[in-house]
Amino acid sequence: MKPLAELLEASAALHRHLCPRQVLGARMGMLAGELLGLDLPQTDTRTFGPSAGKRLYAIVETDGCFTDGVSAATNCWVGRRTMRVEDYGKVATTFVDTQTGQAIRIVPQSDVRLRARDYAPEARNKWETMLLGYQRIPAGELLSALPVQLKTPMEKIASRAGVKALCEICGEEIMNEREVIRDGAILCRACAGHAYYVLMAEGTLPNSDLLQANQDMMALLVAA
């Protein structure tokens, strides 16, 4: 495992700054490597399998800079299909050893903000207290780790390379075995009733409040 300072430098390079949640993500990854007996960051993430480099899989429970801390420590990335975001709005990660099936969920201790004060007495504000304290608190005081079992088997999450299907309603392509079979028909999740969006009726425009909210959100994303 690389030193924490080196991992934080790699994470900060993605944002041009370092924040407390990146520290938590990096330290979760380091603890996962220790508990699972893995040499992290993993160096080869091309394929899954007994002799493959994609051995560790991370399921993060929020997005944002926290995930880059996890990625820096583990080399698990959404773009490499070694990380998945299940957005529960929680700073938490489940790490899965895809060879053994062992999985652990790691979260911060509930009182870490208070503990940080004892480890960063020179901090000038709450933000700096967390930034420095989270780097210094012993792992056993900072984080809690519990074994878990995935409801969806890892083989199903990883899927098989090159597997594709066509939705029989919208005609769009579905990758990674994410189709839904209903009454013998192949459907995408949206057409099966699990869409996160609603199609606009032809010729209509969104109301002004919704349009403004969307524009404000895009401006925030661009500025982030």
3 state SS of 96:
strand
Residues spanned by CATH 3.30.1330.130 within the chain? 4-157
My answer on whether omega of the bond before 138 falls inside 30° of 0, hence cis, is no
**Tokens matching residue 140:** 């056993």
Residue with tokens 């012993």: 138
Residue 67: phi and psi, rounded to 5, are: -65, -30
Are the C-beta atoms of 107 and 89 separated by less than 8 Å? no
**Tokens matching residue 90:** 């929680």
Tell me the per-residue pLDDT of 19-36, one tens digit each, with 9 for 90 and over: 999 999 999 999 999 999
Domain 4-157 adopts which CATH fold? 60s Ribosomal Protein L30; Chain: A; (3.30.1330)
3 state SS of 103:
strand
Per-residue pLDDT of the chain (224 residues; tens, 9 = 90+): 899 999 999 999 988 899 999 999 999 999 999 999 999 999 865 655 544 568 999 999 999 999 999 999 999 999 999 999 999 999 999 999 999 999 999 999 999 999 999 999 999 999 999 999 999 999 999 999 999 999 999 999 988 878 999 999 999 999 999 999 999 999 999 999 999 998 887 556 556 665 565 556 556 555 55
Q: Which contiguous run of DSSP H or E holds residue 156?
A: helix 154-158
Residue with tokens 């109301």: 207
